[in-house]
Structure formats: C-alpha cells, structure tokens
Amino acid sequence: MPWQLSRRKNLKLRVIPINDAGEVDIDEFVKLINPKTKLVSIVHISNALGTINPVKKIIDIAHAHNIPVLLDGAQSTPHLKIDVQDLGCDFFTFSGHKMFGPTGIGVLYGKTQYLEMMPPYQGGGDMIREVTFDHTTYDDLPRKFEAGTPNIAGGIGLGAAIDYLNQFDREELLKHENALLEYATAKLSEIKGLRIIGTAKEKASVISFTIEGIHPYDIGTIIDTDGVAIRTGHHCAQPVMRRFNVPATARASFTFYNTFEEIDKLALSLNKVIKMFS
Ligand SMILES: Cc1ncc(COP(=O)(O)O)c(C=O)c1O
C-alpha cells in the first residue's frame, strides 16, 4: 500500500508473483525489471505465509541493474540475526514491537548516498543547520530526519529489546524455532480438513492455515477459551489471501519461548473446534 503513493510521481507499481507454495517467482521478477525500474521492495519474511524470501539473490539481481533494494524486516528481525552490510540492501525497515520492544517506534536504515539525496519528510527542532526568512539548510544525517523532540523513551526501550535478544545465541534460538515449525507442521498436517497456506522450502516459524467449513475467526475465538492464542484475519495482506483464494487464515506463530507441549495443546484444541462444528 505505501508504494501506491508512487503513483503521485507517475510511477508504475509492478508486483512480483508468487507460486502455490508462497515463494517468489525469480524468473518473473527478472522479467519485470526494465531500464525504468527505480526501486525493488520486498518483505524479508512474509507475515502471512512465513516464507523467507531469497533476498540476497534478489539484491544481487537488482544491483546488477543498478536498482536499490528495500527490505521490510518487520518479521525477520525477531527471527534472524540481521547484518545489513552482509545483506547488501540499500534500505531496511523494522518495527520495535515485533522484537519485544515498545510500540510506536521502528527503524529505517538507509545507505548514506540515498539518505543524503532524500528531503526531510517532516519539520521540527534540531534538524536545521541554518535558516533565514527565505532559505533553510538541513543538518547532517541522521538529524535531518529526526525533527522535533524524539521518542526518547521508545528509543531506549527498543535498544533494551535489541540487547535482550542479542544476549542469546541467535543461531540456537533459530534451531529451536525450526524444530517447533517442523513439529507443528507434521502435527497440524494430521488434522483432517486443515490446509496449510504457505509451504515454502525456506520458512520461518509461522503456520497459516484454514479448516474446511470453519471461519478462521471462529477457530481463533474458540481455541482462545482453551488459552491458545493465535492470530486470525487477512494479516494486512489481502492480495496474498486473494492469491490463495481464501478470505482469511488462522495463524500460529512460534518464537524461542514456545514449547512442543504448546503445539500439542494447539492441535488438541483445533480437533475440539472441528468436533463442535461437525
Ligand atoms: C511484514 C510486515 N511489515 C510491516 C508491518 C507493519 O508494522 P507496524 O505495525 O509497525 O506498522 C507488519 C505488521 O504486521 C508486518 O508484518
């Protein structure tokens, strides 16, 4: 949706298709690139499907055509150790609240060469080098973009959340999450009528699913009474729902503190829902 704003500048928005597993079609991506392409933007990990996109490959292809790449890392920062220099992306965004930090704060990382070309998006204190009645020059990065008194508490909170996550061996956390994903995929696949939406080879510990004849809202509401919390809805990704011909999905997502017993409880609870509706 943010990229639809590009129409104001008469830019065309072209969308990379995904296959039935929820993986980006790289051949189609290459075909979409032309000399007018200004930017490639892609989600690092899909919140709706769990797909981990092959972002390094995408960045390499885009850079071979001198096109900058923006990665939406809202879902990847909680699951993966991120090194923007290693990834080579030109922009990277993420939200504090998805990595156990405060709400209302996030990060836009950008390479200096692009940030210097960009005008400030809002005005306020401490962003100006010099002002006269008819002219203004802006301060150096990042102050040019940090207008007004900043969200100091949010910044400190987000820093603490990042330190909290980084005190762990992130590789070990990922191993546990992958084991949970494998276990849950097998467990949920045994449930009759349950369809997993998003079966990419590279997947984060997220399982989106539907159950034949039962609306995801009902699934979520009923298993909530068992103390099992999942997310239901279109996950702010309606075009993805349309691609898979479903109005919404139920989505269980696992992080490092989740357990195998909790997955057993989820499966048990889902079977209960099916019984209620049959
Ligand atoms: C991949 C992805 N991008 C962006 C967002 C939006 O994040 P925020 O709520 O911080 O605007 C979300 C939130 O669900 C997300 O999953």
Mean pLDDT computed over 224-229 = 97
CA-nearest residue for atom 15, ligand 1, is 74
Q: Interhelix angle for 216-224 vs 260-277, to 10°? A: 120
pLDDT confidence tier of residue 6, bands split at 50, 70 and 90: confident
Domain boundary among 118, 136, 166: 166
Q: Based on the domain organization, do 95 and 205 belong to the same domain?
A: no
Q: Based on the domain organization, do 197 and 269 belong to the same domain?
A: yes
pTM for this predicted structure = 0.95
Domain boundary among 122, 137, 166: 166
- Integer angstrom CA distances of residue 157 from 103, 150, 213: 10, 13, 43
Amino acid present at 254: F
pLDDT value at position 1?
A: 84
Q: Evaluate whether residue 138 is within a structural domain.
A: no
Q: Evaluate whether residue 131 is within a structural domain.
A: no
Q: Based on the domain organization, do 155 and 217 belong to the same domain?
A: no
Domain boundary among 139, 166, 193: 166
Q: Based on the domain organization, do 159 and 94 belong to the same domain?
A: yes
Q: Based on the domain organization, do 158 and 198 belong to the same domain?
A: no
Q: Based on the domain organization, do 159 and 179 belong to the same domain?
A: no
Residue 236 falls in the annotated catalytic set: yes
Q: Based on the domain organization, do 158 and 54 belong to the same domain?
A: yes
pLDDT value at position 211?
A: 98
Mean pLDDT computed over 243-260 = 97
CA-nearest residue for atom 3, ligand 1, is 74
Closest atom of ligand 1 to 106 CA is 10
Q: Based on the domain organization, do 160 and 27 belong to the same domain?
A: yes
User: Secondary structure of the chain in the HEC alphabet?
Assistant: CHHHHHHHHCCCCCCCCECCCCCECHHHHHHHCCCCCCCEEEECECCCCCEECCHHHHHHHHHHCCCCEEEECCCHHHHCCCCHHHHCCCEEEEEHHHHCCCCCCEEEEECHHHHHHCCCCCCCCCCEEEECCCCEEECCCCHHHCCCCCCHHHHHHHHHHHHHHHCCCHHHHHHHHHHHHHHHHHHHHCCCCEEEECCCCCECCEEEEEECCECHHHHHHHHHCCCCCCEEECCCCHHHHHHCCCCCEEEEECCCCCCHHHHHHHHHHHHHHHHHHC
Range of the domain at 257: 170-277
Q: Based on the domain organization, do 204 and 269 belong to the same domain?
A: yes
Question: Side-chain half-sphere of 201: how many Cα atoms within 13 Å?
Answer: 3
CA-nearest residue for atom 9, ligand 1, is 95
Mean pLDDT computed over 58-82 = 97
**Of the residues 236, 245, 257, 275, which is catalytic?**
236
Q: Evaluate whether residue 204 is within a structural domain.
A: yes
Closest atom of ligand 1 to 96 CA is 10
Q: Based on the domain organization, do 161 and 210 belong to the same domain?
A: no
Instruction: Using the predicted structure, report yes or no on whether residue 9 has a pLDDT greater than 90.
Output: no
Domain CATH code at residue 229: 3.90.1150.10
Q: Is the model more confident about 7 or about 239?
A: 239
Q: Evaluate whether residue 42 is within a structural domain.
A: yes
Q: Based on the domain organization, do 96 and 189 belong to the same domain?
A: no
Instruction: Using the predicted structure, report yes or no on whether residue 5 has a pLDDT greater than 90.
Output: no
Q: Evaluate whether residue 183 is within a structural domain.
A: yes
Mean pLDDT computed over 256-266 = 98
Percentage of the chain exceeding pLDDT 90: 96
> Ligand 1 pocket, 152 CB below 6 A?
no
Q: Based on the domain organization, do 88 and 212 belong to the same domain?
A: no
> Ligand 1 pocket, 43 CB below 6 A?
yes
Q: What is the pLDDT of residues 87-107, one digit of tens each?
A: 999 999 999 999 999 999 999
Q: What is the pLDDT of residues 184-211, one digit of tens each?
A: 999 999 999 999 999 999 999 999 999 9
How far apart, in whole angstroms, are the C-alpha atoms of residue 18 and residue 10? 26
Q: Evaluate whether residue 271 is within a structural domain.
A: yes
Q: How many domains does the chain have?
A: 2
> Ligand 1 pocket, 253 CB below 6 A?
no
Q: Evaluate whether residue 128 is within a structural domain.
A: no
CA-nearest residue for atom 16, ligand 1, is 47
Domain CATH code at residue 155: 3.40.640.10
pLDDT value at position 8?
A: 86
Q: What is the pLDDT of residues 134-179, one digit of tens each?
A: 999 999 999 999 999 999 999 999 999 999 999 999 999 999 999 9
